Amino acid sequence: MSDTGRDGPADRPGPADRAGPRDGALLVVGDVVTDVVARHSGPLAPGTDTVAAVRTVPGGAGANVACWAVYEGCADVRLLGRVGRDSAAWHERELTAGGVRPLLVTDPKAPTGTVICLVDGGASAERTFLTDSGASLRLAPEDWSPDLLDGVARLHLSGYLFFSAPSRALVSVVLESARTRGVPVSLDPASAGFLTALGVDRFLGLCSGVDVLLPSRDEACLLTGLSDPAEAAAELSRRFPLVVAKLGSDGALVARSGSVRAHVPAARATPRDTTGAGDAFTGAFLASLLAGSGPGEAARAGCAAGAKAVERVGGRPPTRAPGKESEESAEIEEWEEKESSGAADAWAGR
């Protein structure tokens, strides 16, 4: 097993890694939500107040992946998602500013999904999600057209689509369209908690036709019943042509045909918020594959993007729209100042 992540003969691009023209588009089908990020410097205090720095930002695993793919060099990224009327215009503006072509369906009844992200302000910056999926999981077969694959070289599915009946039906239709067109499909399982509720066997049965699986450590172990992530990745690669297991600070594993082919080390970072780190990895990984890289090199790009992500608040990269990035930088500086200005003392003195 390689420790460098460089592509040896067994790890050079294959059918699951690179297909279609290099300048073809990436189509992401997935969730668009509003994230309310609360970064607290001390333990949560049940029954009373806990001081936190709170910020509302655009999010959603599918939307985050799309934005990171653009940031990492993919010139044509499209996103199919469903949002509520309450914030449809805002999300469309944010995606457009991030270089993504939004293909958003406005739900007439449900509001945009909302996720409360509780971020530990300690060294780990670990996050806990409280999720109201809202309109995001109401994406359904009637929102799909095979024409959406015109010019598309790769299709990526957010695993959150597997956790409601309408979006599961959509997945089936999308996978059939991709098979007909010969477009390779990648999938991020998205949530160990939701996977447990759905059932592992049911989830795996719905994944028929997926070419690249990108699970986290916990998801890989859950899907196989194995405690060792390397063994889990190898086992999953007997079912999926390519498996890339994301291990956070331990890097990533690239597996195929029942064995781990590369262990890519993590890039160094000082975590502030781990929200969206896996999405950043996935977006950069797919952008690298589209640029012609092999899976080891693409995983290295993914690790580098994940490191950038954990040093930012929220799950998106900096936007490259004119004038927008400076606004974001000012907001983050204000956030950091709030965290370090003795907010707890000010609160206590009210």
Question: Which of 150-154, 194-198, 267-271, 331-335 has the weakest average pLDDT?
Answer: 331-335
pLDDT digits (tens, 9 = 90+) for 263-305: 999 999 888 777 789 999 999 999 999 999 999 999 999 999 9
pLDDT of residue 347: 33
Q: What is the mean pLDDT of residues 44-54?
A: 85
Please give the class, per CATH, of domain 9-42+53-317: alpha beta
Q: How confident is the model at residue 55 (pLDDT cuts 50, 70, 90)?
A: confident
Highest mean pLDDT among 136-150, 267-281, 306-320: 136-150
Q: How confident is the model at residue 18 (pLDDT cuts 50, 70, 90)?
A: very low
Q: What is the mean pLDDT of residues 121-148?
A: 86
State the chain's mean pLDDT as an integer: 86
Q: How confident is the model at residue 226 (pLDDT cuts 50, 70, 90)?
A: very high
pLDDT of residue 154: 98
Q: What is the 3-state secondary structure (H, E, C) of the chain?
A: CECCCCCCHHHCCCCCCCCCCCCCEEEEECCCEEEEEEEECCCCCCCCCCCEEEEEEEECHHHHHHHHHHHCCCCCEEEEEEEECCCHHHHHHHHHHCCCEEEEEEECCCCCEEEEEEEECCCCCCEEEEEECHHHHHCCHHHCCHHHHCCEEEEEEEHHHHHCHHHHHHHHHHHHHHHHHCCCEEEECCCHHHHHHHCHHHHHHHCCCCCEECCEHHHHHHHHCCCCHHHHHHHHCCCCCEEEEECHHHCEEEEECCEEEEEECCCCCCCCCCCCHHHHHHHHHHHHHHCCCCHHHHHHHHHHHHHHHHCCCCCCCCCCCCCHHHHHHHHHHHHHHHHHCCHHHHHHCC
pLDDT of residue 193: 84
Q: What is the mean pLDDT of residues 114-141?
A: 83
Q: How confident is the model at residue 37 (pLDDT cuts 50, 70, 90)?
A: confident
Question: Domain extents for the chain?
Answer: 9-42+53-317
pLDDT of residue 323: 53
Q: How confident is the model at residue 38 (pLDDT cuts 50, 70, 90)?
A: confident
